[in-house]
């Protein structure tokens, strides 16, 4: 009997610490649970990644989203949405805002601003 998954990504070229390999990726409950030849396994959703490369999520350790004070340049919602579109799964934002995020109160404010608006995991300097 074959396994059933929420999502199967088939025939992708996967980049790992050991190099590149063509394989399938099985996802269940939003987690990768198997990488390899999934053969006859079924997915509620399946995507053919032939000709595409699958990379691990990127962590960007220096971003400048400018909130609070300079939102006309970029804010937490637009910056993290753009990051997610580019494969970034987590960001570390620099404190160049107005006022600078350099106190415990400013960090608390920034965390509250990000709640429910950030599209990726986040940390603030």
Q: What averages of pLDDT result for each successive group of 10 residues across the chain (125 residues)?
A: 85 91 95 92 94 92 92 94 95 91 92 95 90
Q: Are residues 64 and 48 in the same domain?
A: no
pLDDT score recorded for residue 92: 95
Can you give the residue range of the structural domain that contains 8? 4-54
Number of domains in the chain: 2
pLDDT at 125: 81
Query: Considering Cα of 104, then 106, then 111, then 115, what sign does the dihedral take?
Result: positive
**Do residues 82 and 37 share a domain?**
no
- Give yes or no: residues 43 and 24 share one domain: yes
Return the pLDDT at 17: 85
Distances (CA, A) of 81 to 55, 74, 78, 89, 123: 18, 11, 5, 10, 15
């Amino acid at each position: 009997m074959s396994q059933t998954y929420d999502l199967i990504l088939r025939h992708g070229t996967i980049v790992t610490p050991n190099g590149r390999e063509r394989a399938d990726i099985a996802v269940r409950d939003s987690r990768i649970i198997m990488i390899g030849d999934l053969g006859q396994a079924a997915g509620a959703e399946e995507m053919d990644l032939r000709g595409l490369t699958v990379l691990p999520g990127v962590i960007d350790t220096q971003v400048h989203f400018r909130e609070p004070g300079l939102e006309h340049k970029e804010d937490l919602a637009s910056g993290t949405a753009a990051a997610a579109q580019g494969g970034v799964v987590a960001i570390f934002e620099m404190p160049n805002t107005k006022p600078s995020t350099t106190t415990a109160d400013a960090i608390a404010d920034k965390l509250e601003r990000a709640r429910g608006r950030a599209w990726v995991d986040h940390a603030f300097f």
